[in-house]
Structure 1
């Protein structure tokens, strides 16, 4: 099976930096120098490896937490940028989890399926052509996060931009999902059948990374 290990390269670099990552940075450098898939953007990606090499592990970890854990605009959870707090996010999570299981890919107990490094790890294990299709589905969100990181001068922006370059699909602007105001929604839409939550109907159209119809189509073609 022809797979695309370059996705693992990005996946590891987007995870919380640990000492083990720093120890194997020479291997990441070798891959950047030799893999043709990265040659067009080697200069930009080199800046990220230089960033890792020029800071202490503690500095890298503190910056990672400040960038991704304390700023929801940069969250690496894909569906957070698509659905916000809408209940459809849970359904999308189930669909993506089933996609992973159909490919024999099992998550750990503490991992969420829409975490970008997890998705990239999965893409590295499926046939390259199918991985490219899934990347094309997700690229709108990936580019959206990358643009926000770039506006904040984050060194991680180049990784998201690099993934965008690998996509066969040109990203489209992503509509920000509305934050659900429970009181206002109750007044506007009325309660749901249980009388607990508002009966929400999205007022804006958002780009769906992995809607149910696409998931069923993917399974038929897998």
Structure 2
């Protein structure tokens, strides 16, 4: 194990204890592929969901987890990533996902105090993490760890939002300049904040900390 991996193993272990104290069910994985295997081989069999849906996450897709879940038998998968349906159908799938047995996503940031911090465009991911799905799994790369709420919100506004606007080819000032202008663009992706300090009920939210830099 490299010194960098060893350093982050220590950090992730410490953060796991904080998250556990906040009522989250916390796991640590050494890679995105190990995280996907953990979800598929351990967490999902324990939860036995009849329906699974997703909140937008490059980590979930890049780990291979999304593709593997779509192959599961006897599970209804509500595919919110599919861009082929009409906008009304895509919104309806997001509405349906709020009543799924299991919602899988990532977080924009997690603080040293064990808070999950997110900023959404439509709010479906924030809504699902707060209430609705019976269980939630949140995959978090080590690069998303921040010291406190101020650092987390700064990371999201100054880095995460501009990069995602560029990725989604949105017509926003930040997609051009790389700097948040607190715009009023109709294609703005920053609308709804969510700060999850505790898992309620206890254990409902599973957080998988991953010893890799993943997503934005």
State TM-score, norm by structure 2.
0.27
Structure of higher RCO (CA pairs closer than 8 Å, 6+ residues apart): 2
Greater Rg by CA: 1
